[in-house]
Amino acid sequence: MPELIRLQTPDFELSVWANDISQRTKVYQNTMANRASLTANVNVDAKHAQPSYEMRFAPAAELSNIIEPQGLVTTGLEESGLAENGLVANALAKHAELTLNAPLFFENTQYQFEWVFFSEVTNARLTHRSQSVNETFRFAPEVKTARGVVPARLSGTINTGNDVGWLRLPLTFELNGKTQTQHIAFEVLPTKMALHQDLPAMYQAIDKVYPLWRFSLVEKTEQDAATSQQRGHFPLMWLANFSALREGFEQGLKVICAAPHSRLQPTVANIKAAKLKGRLPHKLAEQVKQNFANGQYDKRYAVEKKQLSVDTPENRFIKMAVSRSKRKLAAFEQRLRQSNQVPERQRLSDSFLNELHSWQQPMQKVLNQSFLKEIGAYTGLSRESLVLQQKTGYSAVYRVWQELKFYLDVFGNQSSISMKSVAEIYEVWCFFCLKQILEQDLGFDLVENSATKLVQNDFFEYQLKDGFAGAFRFKRSDGVTARLAHEPKFTRKGQSIRSYLVSQEPDIVLEVTLPKSASSHFGSSEEKQFIWLFDAKYRIKTDKSRFDDSGEDIESTDYVPDDAINQMHRYRDALIRLSEPSLTESPSSSMAGQPAKKSRPVFGAFALYPGFFDQATKQNPYAAAIEEVGIGAFALLPSQAEYGYSGHQWLLEFLQTQIGAAPNAQAGQGGEAVYPLDGMAERLYVQEAARIPYYGMRQVLYPDLTMTTALGGQRGRENEYFARFERGTAKWYHLPQSTFLQKFKQHVAEEIRYLALASTSDTQSSTKQIDKLWPVKSVTVLPRYAITEEQAGKLSGSADLCYLFELGRPLSLLAPVSNVPHRPMKNAMKLTTLTRLESAIRFAEVEKVYQEAMV
């Protein structure tokens, strides 16, 4: 485990080790280089163009030595004389921060920290808010042995996991009977995204729907809290803001207690005449004189005086602000201590809980001040107070209170708060990214938001009860509806979709339903439903297996890990749709007990991962697999509009191809939708991935698919060939493959179930008519010379490929279809169904199907 950096102060030496981080450094540098390519032709702020890597110290640390075995020489040390060949001794300078030329701290990496103390330290510990962080550190006191003195040390390990942002290590140690604290902080960087570009964009998208979900009470790291427009009571935000403003708040209170504001206020006292002093008002004197004349000597008189009083609106405000803050902190502490008592839920360290308690002491001291006991209840301010705005002490408390009161409006970078892990953030952002695509790009309107509302857990964090199952429903102007769900559970007891063995819980499920009008195109009154699954994976493939393609370059191209692809196969195979058996001729009561009809509802399962590509010019590395088998992945990152970069273009183009866009959303010329509704189902069913059957079986879209065509010309063919078609005894029909491919796609040949062969009409020699339907037993592809005279009516030595259909006994139409074009043959070729053919009298009336199979 190589040493990364070693820092020395007069009191201790800090060393940091980690396993080889060269691979993570390389991935991070590639990520930043890709980002830099975006800004190559854009004038951006130099601060954002060149990232900095810092270590921060609070209070400023007296660094006597800085040793960097890895050669990562810090900048800014030359001025203080600390940097000389990576090792400098006997120098002393205070540093609030150090800037490194290369990053040291990454996500999902284990680091070992060790403080070795130079003096006789009796105790040392970390006072991080997270109990799990503190528990990994062990203090060893100084030991005197025969070989010498082994100094006291504090050592432990931290695995950064998926926590990114500032990791603060508050070191507390006892030296010479005094407690000293030294905070050391460093930024944990993600390797797969830009911390200060991608994450804020994700936060912004999430905050539009659930602005407080991403905040957490205690994680390893903290981040600067972003501004939010949501106003309301959220304890974690209040706590984070109060933590940052606490010192100014307490300092203002000290000033107020030392010199409380007072003013002359009128008071009325009822006093006997004998105790009246000084010159009396004329009216009062006349009243006293009159009462004496009437013998009234004990009567009391109202006398108004002015005296200094601290019972002012400003002091009432201060008393209210202090008492409310004290009560809020006490409620925090009490509830957190109760929640933290359960052994398996002990997330909070004792030092954090004790810190909350210590924050209350200065406030309680203020409330015990004697002058506050004379102050009444706060009833508000009737007008603006210059005392609160300008007077020393009062203005500081007033400003802090306003920020605490409206913290969601004025929250800025002055405070830090923990966020949920970046893996959770990425997963929920992917969900909202799909929601955005549906609404902004595919023309869907949100019609129902049945997402479970946010609820607070025992640690004041917002969580989603039972995931987002059934979260959003959409509808489009063409009648297509969509349901977007987050983490729905498919169990063995599912009514419509079931997982027979093990429950499945994909991250995102997109279900699209066609209206009945579109489904009736297939002769069905049921709505057609299509499902696509997505699983957000905050991971990128780093190790190449022996089964990978030799041309796969994982160093320069971002790929999703293999296990993520395997999971997509699992999802698609595990989910089964159950529907009623197709027994339309039987009454519904007779269907009781009939086995449900099973089908596979998932048309594709895809991993979403933070790969970086120029999606406008490059092709998705999983595009071929997605087209062939419906399994693959899409790189998904926030778009950077200012740089002209779209991080979801591949996913958008895929969804446009699958479910299209309504008119006026992504309209082409003439105001028509890019992908019309009429052919949507066919377009989905004819995809290569959707047509893969079990070995030895066929999978067709139309069970009665019929192709109309015509018999070949009579020149050179035996009359018996045509006579067999007239008598209904023909067994073969051939068609040049080149002619077929001028009209239809190649795969359609195996799906044709009937041939409607047109022969010469008895009344019109210029056209033909269809009076028989020939079942197709099989179809093979042969060169023309391999087809016999019996099968084709004549021999040929051509090597051109032909389709040879083996025919069954024909069916006769009740009414022949007339006016079939004579030449060329392709004009007589259509794809239709038995029902549609039987309802037509003229060839022009025959309705076409399978438009997606047309060339």
Q: Which residue, 758, 791, 756, 792, is CA-closest to 776?
A: 756
pLDDT score recorded for residue 670: 42
Q: For residue 765, is pLDDT > 60? A: no
For 188-202, 334-348, 502-516, 549-563, which range has the lowest pLDDT when averaged over its residues? 334-348
- Asked if residues 150 and 143 have their Cβ atoms less than 8 Å apart, the reply is yes
Q: What is the mean pLDDT of residues 722-730?
A: 91
pLDDT score recorded for residue 76: 43
DSSP label at 653? H
- Asked if residues 188 and 160 have their Cβ atoms less than 8 Å apart, the reply is yes
Q: What is the mean pLDDT of residues 181-207?
A: 85
For the chain, where do the domains classified as CATH 2.30.130 start and end? 693-853
Three-state secondary structure string covering 114-132: EEEECCCEEEEEECCCEHH
The dihedral over CA atoms of 742, 747, 748, 751, expressed in degrees to the nearest 10, equals 160
Compute CA distances 124 → 96, 113, 152, 158, 783, whole Å. Answer: 22, 13, 9, 17, 88
pLDDT score recorded for residue 737: 92
φ, ψ (nearest 5 deg) of residue 349: -80, 155
Strands (E), 394-500: 416-419, 444-449, 454-456, 462-464, 468-476, 481-486, 497-499
Compute CA distances 847 → 433, 523, 702, 706, 746, whole Å. Answer: 41, 13, 14, 11, 21
Q: For residue 89, is pLDDT > 50? A: no
Burial 153-175 (b: 16+ CB within 10 A, else e): bbbbebebbbbbbbbbbbbbbeb
Domain 693-853 class, CATH top level: mainly beta
- Measured CA to CA, the distance from residue 364 to residue 810 in angstroms comes to 100
DSSP alpha helices (H): ranges in 516-587?
516-519, 562-574
Q: For residue 331, is pLDDT > 70? A: yes
Contacts of 780 (CB under 8 A, 6+ apart): 803, 804, 806
pLDDT score recorded for residue 585: 40
Q: Which residue, 532, 521, 356, 527, is CA-closest to 438?
A: 532
Q: For residue 715, is pLDDT > 50? A: yes
Query: If pLDDT is split at 50, 70 and 90, which confidence band does 249 have?
Result: confident
Q: For residue 756, is pLDDT > 80? A: yes
Q: What is the mean pLDDT of residues 643-668?
A: 77
Highest-confidence segment of 35-44, 326-335, 468-477, 806-815: 806-815
Q: Which residue, 776, 834, 781, is CA-closest to 807?
A: 776
Please indicate whether residue 527 or residue 375 has the higher confidence score (pLDDT).
375
pLDDT score recorded for residue 798: 92
Q: Which residue, 436, 49, 505, is CA-closest to 205?
A: 436
Q: For residue 412, is pLDDT > 50? A: no
Contacts of 145 (CB under 8 A, 6+ apart): none
Reported as half-sphere exposure (CB side, CA atoms, 13 A), residue 304 has a value of 5
User: pLDDT by residue (tens digit) across 790-810?
Assistant: 899 999 999 999 999 999 999
For 490-504, 546-560, 775-789, which range has the lowest pLDDT when averaged over its residues? 546-560
Q: Which residue, 319, 57, 31, is CA-closest to 185?
A: 57
DSSP label at 84? S
DSSP label at 619? -
pLDDT score recorded for residue 232: 46
φ, ψ (nearest 5 deg) of residue 436: -65, -40
Q: For residue 746, is pLDDT > 90? A: no
| Helices and strands per DSSP (H, E), number in the chain | 22, 37
Q: For residue 481, is pLDDT > 80? A: yes
- Asked if residues 116 and 12 have their Cβ atoms less than 8 Å apart, the reply is yes
pLDDT score recorded for residue 518: 58
User: pLDDT by residue (tens digit) across 209-247?
Assistant: 776 677 776 677 876 554 444 444 556 666 666 776 777
Helix (H, G, I), strand (E, B) or coil at 849: coil
Token pair of 845 as six digits: 């009336």
Burial label, 798 (beta-carbon count in 10 A; 0-12, 13-18, 19+): exposed
Mean pLDDT estimate for the chain: 78
- Judged by phi (left if over 0) then psi (alpha if -120 to 50, else beta), residue 489 lies in beta
Helix (H, G, I), strand (E, B) or coil at 670: helix
Q: Any bridge partners for residue 661, and if so which?
A: none
For 497-506, 569-578, 759-768, which range has the lowest pLDDT when averaged over its residues? 759-768
Query: If pLDDT is split at 50, 70 and 90, which confidence band does 685 have?
Result: confident
Token pair of 107 as six digits: 């996500």
pLDDT score recorded for residue 461: 59
Q: For residue 168, is pLDDT > 60? A: yes
φ, ψ (nearest 5 deg) of residue 608: -110, 125
Query: If pLDDT is split at 50, 70 and 90, which confidence band does 584 have?
Result: very low
Q: For residue 195, is pLDDT > 90? A: no
Token pair of 737 as six digits: 């493959």
**Largest separation between any pair of C-alpha atoms in the chain:** 156
Q: Which residue, 764, 853, 775, is CA-closest to 810?
A: 775
Q: For residue 330, is pLDDT > 50? A: yes
DSSP alpha helices (H): ranges in 485-526?
516-519
- Asked if residues 67 and 5 have their Cβ atoms less than 8 Å apart, the reply is yes
The dihedral over CA atoms of 372, 377, 380, 386, expressed in degrees to the nearest 10, equals -20
Residue with tokens 């009128």, as numbered in its chain: 266
For 79-88, 345-354, 392-401, which range has the lowest pLDDT when averaged over its residues? 79-88
Token pair of 175 as six digits: 């030296």
Question: Is residue 758 within a helix (H) or strand (E), and if so which, with residue range?
Answer: strand 754-760
Q: For residue 575, is pLDDT > 50? A: yes
User: pLDDT by residue (tens digit) across 539-565?
Assistant: 888 766 655 555 566 667 888 888 999
Q: For residue 644, is pLDDT > 60? A: yes
Q: For residue 41, is pLDDT > 60? A: no
Q: For residue 460, is pLDDT > 70? A: no
Q: Which residue, 482, 484, 586, is CA-closest to 534?
A: 484
Query: If pLDDT is split at 50, 70 and 90, which confidence band does 410 have?
Result: very low
- Measured CA to CA, the distance from residue 523 to residue 847 in angstroms comes to 13
User: pLDDT by residue (tens digit) across 263-301?
Assistant: 776 777 777 777 777 777 777 788 878 887 777 777 887
Q: For residue 80, is pLDDT > 50? A: no
pLDDT score recorded for residue 620: 92
- Measured CA to CA, the distance from residue 836 to residue 845 in angstroms comes to 9
Q: Which residue, 114, 76, 110, is CA-closest to 96?
A: 76
For 53-67, 137-151, 742-756, which range has the lowest pLDDT when averaged over its residues? 53-67
φ, ψ (nearest 5 deg) of residue 99: -110, 125
Query: If pLDDT is split at 50, 70 and 90, which confidence band does 635 have?
Result: very high
Query: If pLDDT is split at 50, 70 and 90, which confidence band does 98 have?
Result: confident
- Asked if residues 234 and 225 have their Cβ atoms less than 8 Å apart, the reply is no
What Rg, from alpha-carbon coordinates, does the chain have?
41
pLDDT score recorded for residue 83: 45
